[in-house]
Amino acid sequence: MRILKKIAKYLGVVLCIPLSYIIISLISSYITVNKNSASPEKKHTIYLSSNGVHLEIIIPKSEIDPSILYSLKYENDEDFFSFGWGDKTFYVETPTWGDLTFINGFRALFVNTSTLLHVTRYTHKQDDWVAITLSGKQLKKINQYINNSFRLNNSQQKIILPGIGYYKNDDFYEATGNYTCFNTCNTWVNTGLKQSDIKACWWTPYDFRLLSLHQ
C-alpha cells in the first residue's frame, strides 16, 4: 500500500509539470502588450501565417530591409518572404506531421537545441495571411529582429543549408538562439512583435492568440 501511495505521489508530480505549463501559458497568452491603436502613420503591412501550429512572419519584398535580402536566395518574381524559426533537427527530420517521432518532439521541447530560420518565398499574397499594419518605426524594428536571427559566417553572409528545403521556393538558414519549450517557434514570432512595439502576448508558445489579436 505504501508503495502504491509513493507511485501515485510521483505520478502526481510528473503530471503537475505539463499541467502547470499549459495553465501558465494560456494565462500569459491572454495578457496583451503593446495595445497600439490605428494611426495614420501606419502605412506599411506585414502578415502572419500558420499551418495550424507553427507561426511565420511574412514581409513584402518592398518592405524588407536590404540587409535581410543580402546573401538570401530568391528569384526576381518572388515578392513575399515568410520567416519561421525553430529547432534544427525537428525542421530537417520532420517535413510533415506524419514524420513526427517522440524522440524528435521530446528533444525539441526539453533539450536546449540549435535552430534554423525557414525562409519561404511567394510570388503572390496568400488569402489566409493575417495582415498587420505598421508605422515606419515598427517596420524597421521587425526587420532588425529578423535580420539579427540569422547566424552569419566569417564573411558576414547567411549560412544556407543546401538541398534541405521542402519545396522549390523555400530554404533553411542557420539561426541564432536555442529552442526549448519556453522559447518555441511561436515564442520567436511573439518576441519579435513585442520588441517592435506591435500588439502581442506577454508570452505564448501558441499560434491562435496572436492570430486572433490581429484579425
pLDDT 10s digits, 23-73: 998 999 999 999 876 676 789 999 999 988 889 999 999 999 999 999 999
In this prediction, residue 175 carries a pLDDT of 97
- List % helix, strand, coil for the chain (3-state, nearest 5): 40, 25, 35
In this prediction, residue 131 carries a pLDDT of 96
Any domain includes 26: no
The low-confidence residues of the chain, meaning pLDDT below 50, are 11, 95-97, 99-100, 102, 105, 108
Q: Which residues of 4-34 are buried (b: 16+ CB within 10 A; e: fewer)?
A: eeeeeeeeeeeeeeeeeeeeebeeebeeeee
Any domain includes 3: no
Name the burial class of residue 78, with classes exposed (0-12), middle (13-18) and buried (19+) by CB atoms within 10 angstroms of its CB.
Answer: middle
In this prediction, residue 164 carries a pLDDT of 85
Query: Domains in the chain: how many in total?
Result: 1
C-alpha cell at 139: 517596420
Domain interval for residue 140: 40-213
Mean pLDDT for all residues in the chain: 86
Any domain includes 13: no
Any domain includes 94: yes
Nearest to 33, CA basis, from 199, 207, 214: 199
Any domain includes 197: yes
C-alpha cell at 170: 523555400
Helices (H), 102-148: 102-110, 136-148
pTM for this structure? 0.86
Any domain includes 35: no
Any domain includes 105: yes
In this prediction, residue 13 carries a pLDDT of 52
Any domain includes 80: yes
In this prediction, residue 186 carries a pLDDT of 94
